A and B are shown apart, each in its own frame.
Chain A
Amino acid sequence: MLNRRSLLASGAALLAAPSIVKAQTVVGVTSEEIKIGSIMPYSGPASAYGAIGRLQQAFFKGVNEAGGISGRRINFLSLDDGYQPPKTVEQTRRLVEQDRVAFLFNTLGTPGNTAIQRYVNQRKVPHLFLATGADKWADPQNFPWTIGYQPSYRTEAQIFTKYMLENDRNAKLGILYQNDDFGKDYIAGVRDVLGARFDAVVKTVSYEVTDATIDSQVVQLHGSGVDCLLTAATPKFAAQTIRKVHDIGWRPKMHFLTDVSISVGSVMNPAGPEKGVGILTAAYLKEPTDPTWQADPGMQEWRAWMVKHMPDADQTDGNFVYSYGVSKCLMQVLTQCNGDFSRENVMKQATSLNNVAIPTLINGITVGTSASNFHPIRKMQLAKWDGKTWERFGGLIEGANV
């Protein structure tokens, strides 16, 4: 074992072990436990997402209490990077080199994951189900050890743009976006569909997370003569936008809202539920404050789990729904591994998910991967705000085909 490790460290394990028929790298797995690493912003500007990591800690504790997986308990190491890429690199190296985890799971944030992607691929460490909506994680040719999870923001923007063109070929679109990788992915998605027409049809205005309000931006877009609006903003700014658009008497023909900000409890109700009537979004997750899901078995499973394992947590926080789903998805991978937790097999199973149903995904949307498909969740469904709830309409849209 020790010998194998030191060989691996020199990067020559595959060449140096000719006697083994198929090279298997087993790191972080003993007969008693399997070590899994994760990185979350428990401190710093993005600490709201720390909720995702807190649920996962409780989740794997629960798994262990119920007997673990293939006779092993899960040792889940979730470290804080404060959403700073240099710290992400440091913590990743700690997980891989010092703690020797079997693989990384649901590491959060686009910049941090960009910083570590090459490193984990060089080391051939599975880098599973990243918690970021960027589009670039599905690149099996160059990064065979990295796989994303959710539909990308770019896909979502493509869906919106297609829908807009289907309903009004001459629509002019205003985009209000957060000036970072999250917001810019929406612009990229719109550009994918509009192509050369982009500059003639679209007017973009950005805001910074340090802005106090987006009033000025909304007024500016309204004055520029666009008749449709795409809001790629985080919850606080999305709520401000909905209210401001309504208050200045602007009634865009279509108002698209990123699925990051569709929480009924922390966006639609604060903005004023009647002010958002008619807003469109594309969702893949069930929203915890949406009354539609009150009696849904999947959400009831989630609620029961929350009550049992995290009784003090805020059940209106959509991060918990997301986190529960992605954790369930990982359990499916571990079950499929069937006791063989070598890095090769973990990656193989993670990329052989056959329409796995996850209780917190909108009914009909499943997780599916293959050796060439590194987009686990490809489908979304359009929904319209009716003043009380998100009313879904139309069929499931396969984003990657747009």
Chain B
Amino acid sequence: MNGFLHQVIAGIATGGIYASVALALVMIYQATHHVNFAQGEMATFSTYIALTLVNAGWPFWLAFLATVAISFCLGVMIERVLMRPVANASVLTHVGVFIGLVLVVSNLTGWVFDYTVKPFPTPFHDGPLLGGLISGHELGSTAVTLVVLGLVFLFFRYTRLGLAMRAAAYNPASARLVGVRVGWMLALGWGLAAAIGAIAGIMVAPVVFLEPNMMLGILLYAFAGALLGGIDNPGGAVIGGFAVGVIENLGGTYIVGTELKLTLALVIIIGVLLVRPAGLFGRVVLSRV
């Protein structure tokens, strides 16, 4: 029984990682109705920027803010330079560009910053808590995730810009008619998503250690979390991320064995989509004829 409890707590700690990345995925979906496959690689790249700044002697939170700002600009730039020219091409072309982006960013990261594993500093007290099942950092990063979640919610719900962004993503033609500059909204959406990705990366790196493939597996579990919670619901995605962390541990330990953990995530995805395609907390969209 004790082991069971330990697995749950360890799962929550890992789930926090998935939750923060799932949040970034939901963000870009809300703002662009795209799921960016290069999200993880971009976040890793941003984390290296933060590390470079910290190593150059910047205080942690200043480096944090600067990285978020730089990532925002990079996100906007990528939308303007890479996505704009193919805006009218098919979805398949978009996915092709995403894949190109994954290749470029991931290989660039290794090339520029080396492949050796790097420690990443944490701003929180990094002692073990609860008998080592969760660390001060894991609590702190969960708090950061929740704060970001709150800000995102307020932004989309209560600001004109947030409303305009949602409109641009949801129905570009109508949004354009009421005067929303759809093109720029999409660019802003990419910027925001890149910024949130950077936060996720910085929060994840002290736990899993920084190396160019840091986000590879995490991104898939985060997808599972986002789908579980509902890809259009930031709060749902966070809960989904935690849930996947716990399910993964319990399933891996007691049911399928640790070799099939990722397969388990896949089963979660398929199961959710079959039973409740909008996710547990997502809005069910009805299409009318």
Contacts and interface: CB of A to CB of B under 8 A. Distances in A.
Do any beta carbons of A and B sit within 8 angstroms of each other in the complex?
Answer: yes
A48 B10 contact: no
Contact of B208 (A179, A212, A217, A219): A212
Interface stretch (B53-61, B111-119, B145-153): B111-119
Given A217-B258, A236-B208, A239-B209, A314 B114 contact: yes
User: Which of under 10, 10 to 19, 20 to 34, or 35 or more describes the interface residues of B?
Assistant: 35 or more
B186 interface: no
B14 A179 contact: no
A186 to B, nearest CB: 16
B259 A266 contact: no
Contact of A206 (B6, B131, B259): B259
Given A179-B259, A212-B208, A215-B14, A263 B6 contact: no
B25 to A, nearest CB: 15
A263 B110 CA distance: 18
Contact of A265 (B11, B116, B208): B116
Contact of A223 (B2, B117, B249): B2
Given A47-B110, A212-B14, A220-B7, A270 B117 contact: yes
A249 to B, nearest CB: 6
Interface stretch (A63-71, A84-92, A240-248, A322-330): A240-248
A121 interface: no
Interface stretch (B88-96, B210-218, B271-279): B210-218
Nearest to A45: B213
Given A219-B7, A240-B209, A248 B131 contact: yes
A209 interface: yes
Given A205-B258, A216-B248, A219-B6, A247 B132 contact: yes
B261 interface: yes
Interface string A143-169: 000000000000000000000000000
A138 interface: no
A96 interface: no
B253 A216 contact: yes
Interface residues of A, number: 40
Interface string A41-52: 001010110110
Interface in B105-132: 107, 110, 114-119, 128, 131-132
A266 B217 contact: no
30 contacts: A45-B213, A47-B115, A51-B115, A208-B258, A208-B262, A209-B213, A209-B217, A210-B217, A211-B217, A212-B17, A212-B221, A213-B13, A213-B17, A213-B208, A215-B14, A216-B7, A216-B10, A220-B7, A220-B253, A223-B6, A235-B117, A236-B214, A240-B209, A247-B128, A247-B132, A248-B6, A248-B133, A270-B117, A270-B118, A316-B116
Interface of A: 43, 45, 47-48, 50-51, 179, 205-213, 215-217, 219-220, 223, 235-236, 239-240, 244, 246-249, 263, 265-267, 269-270, 314, 316-317
Given A48-B211, A51-B115, A206-B259, 18 more contacts: A45-B216, A47-B212, A48-B116, A208-B262, A210-B217, A210-B262, A211-B261, A216-B253, A216-B258, A223-B3, A235-B116, A239-B209, A246-B132, A248-B132, A270-B118, A316-B116, A317-B115, A317-B116
